[in-house]
């Protein structure tokens, strides 16, 4: 084969490759509004925090990526459906998640966590410290946590993490929980929902509040022990999937969010989110986002603004 023929063949292959790349890019570019960021985000500082409220049916799973690429998963849905959801936001070759936060021991929040632990290397696991000794599935998850040999953090007091110019503040539990998870000042058992880990994420002037399955009793307690300004946030993931027993008027008034997210399953038997709660947040000027009708909801949080860059169903 002559040198000129060889050059011609190489050139031809290059042209075909470029055409194929154009074809794939053109077709994939029509699927979603904004593609997932390139792998360089893990080695190059960005100027925003990504928060994706994942559509996992009836339950909760929220993926957060900080400016330096540190990843956090808050809750894991009720089963392995969480892996499919994570596959929509993580490249196939990414096999690690830095922080796994399990807000409380309800199945629709921790049920898929064992699947996450088996597929991904987890560096740190955060819980509220409660143990459901009689629940076999929870105990299986506890065994998987131990096998992971990750670092652990039990939220038993007000504390915070600083991650790439972002503060993650743990507002609740603000003391070690007893076995019933009772709220201080309330003698009755208010249930596992009100033992949820509550976090506030602050980046620049922007804040997001994630309250797990917090209901009236916990919301009232938070308003008693913290200054009202603590809850003046831009993003609010509504407690307990927007149930009628949560997001009480005084709590919504204190938050007055720009964006409210309801994580719920389409046609769920609980009637989540409650129409009354939806109207309540709308009256304070909040835009409503719902995983049951809109799918994954991705918000890009800059220091001075928030962009909703992708909603897929």
Measured CA to CA, the distance from residue 224 to residue 216 in angstroms comes to 12
Q: How far apart are the first and last CA of the chain?
A: 54
Give the alpha-carbon dihedral of 214, 105, 295, 123, to 10 degrees.
110
pTM of the model: 0.85
Of the candidates 32, 35, 134, 126, the one whose C-alpha atom is nearest the C-alpha of residue 76 is 126
Question: What are the tens digits of pLDDT across the range 107-165?
Answer: 999 999 999 999 999 999 999 988 666 688 888 998 999 999 999 999 999 999 999 99
Task: Place 312 in a pLDDT band, splitting at 50, 70 and 90.
Answer: confident
Measured CA to CA, the distance from residue 126 to residue 148 in angstroms comes to 13
SS3 78: coil
Contact 214, 246 (CB under 8 A): yes
Measured CA to CA, the distance from residue 235 to residue 286 in angstroms comes to 9
Average pLDDT, the chain: 86
Question: Per mean pLDDT, which range of 11-20, 107-116, 223-232, 272-281 is the poorest?
Answer: 11-20
* Token pair recorded at residue 291: 């995983």
Asked if the model's pLDDT at residue 3 lies above 60, the reply is: no
Measured CA to CA, the distance from residue 51 to residue 64 in angstroms comes to 5
Provide, rounded to the nearest whole percent, the portion of the chain with pLDDT above 70: 84
Question: What are the tens digits of pLDDT across the range 83-98?
Answer: 999 999 999 999 999 9
Q: What is the mean pLDDT of residues 220-225?
A: 96
* Token pair recorded at residue 247: 């997001």
Burial of 112 (0-12, 13-18, 19+ CB in 10 A): buried
Q: Is the peptide bond before 273 cis (omega within 30 degrees of 0)?
A: yes
| pLDDT on residue 180 | 65
* Token pair recorded at residue 266: 């389409």
Asked if the model's pLDDT at residue 20 lies above 50, the reply is: no
Burial of 3 (0-12, 13-18, 19+ CB in 10 A): exposed
Question: What are the tens digits of pLDDT across the range 49-65?
Answer: 999 999 999 999 999 99
Task: Place 302 in a pLDDT band, splitting at 50, 70 and 90.
Answer: very high
CA angle 112, 117, 122 (to 5 degrees): 130
Measured CA to CA, the distance from residue 122 to residue 54 in angstroms comes to 19
| pLDDT on residue 187 | 82
| Residues pairing with 289 in the sheet | 261
Q: Is the peptide bond before 173 cis (omega within 30 degrees of 0)?
A: yes
Question: Between these two residues, 187 and 268, which has the higher pLDDT value?
Answer: 268
| pLDDT on residue 45 | 83
Question: What are the tens digits of pLDDT across the range 153-202?
Answer: 999 999 999 999 999 999 999 998 876 678 888 888 888 999 999 999 99
| pLDDT on residue 186 | 87
Contact 58, 270 (CB under 8 A): yes
Question: Between these two residues, 312 and 126, which has the higher pLDDT value?
Answer: 126
């Amino acid at each position: 084969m002559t040198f000129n023929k060889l050059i011609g063949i190489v050139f031809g292959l290059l042209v075909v490759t470029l055409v194929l790349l154009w074809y794939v890019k053109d077709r994939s570019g029509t699927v979603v509004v904004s593609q997932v960021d390139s792998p360089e985000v893990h080695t190059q500082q960005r100027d925003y925090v990504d928060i994706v409220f994942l559509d996992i049916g009836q339950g909760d799973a929220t993926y957060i990526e900080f400016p330096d690429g540190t990843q956090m998963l808050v809750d894991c849905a009720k089963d392995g459906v969480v892996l499919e959801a994570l596959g929509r936001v993580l490249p196939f070759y990414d096999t690690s998640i830095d922080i796994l936060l399990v807000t409380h021991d309800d199945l629709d929040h921790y049920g898929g966590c064992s699947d996450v632990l088996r597929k991904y290397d987890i560096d740190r696991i955060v819980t509220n410290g409660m143990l459901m000794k009689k629940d076999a599935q929870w105990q299986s998850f506890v065994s998987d946590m131990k096998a992971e040999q990750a670092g652990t953090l039990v939220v038993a007091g007000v504390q915070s993490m600083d991650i790439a110019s972002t503060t993650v503040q743990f507002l609740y539990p603000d003391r070690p929980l007893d076995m019933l998870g009772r709220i201080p000042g309330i003698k009755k058992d208010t249930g596992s929902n009100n033992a949820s880990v509550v976090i506030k994420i602050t980046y620049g002037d922007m804040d997001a509040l994630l309250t797990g399955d917090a209901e009236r009793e916990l919301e009232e307690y938070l308003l008693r022990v913290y200054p009202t300004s603590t809850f003046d946030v831009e993003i609010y993931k509504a407690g307990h999937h927007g149930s009628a027993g949560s997001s009480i008027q005084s709590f919504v008034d204190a938050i007055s969010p720009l964006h409210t997210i309801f994580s719920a399953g389409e046609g769920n038997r609980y009637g989540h989110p409650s129409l009354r709660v939806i109207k309540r947040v709308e009256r304070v000027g909040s835009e409503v986002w719902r995983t049951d009708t809109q799918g994954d909801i991705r918000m890009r949080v800059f220091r001075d603004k928030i962009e909703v860059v992708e909603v897929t169903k």
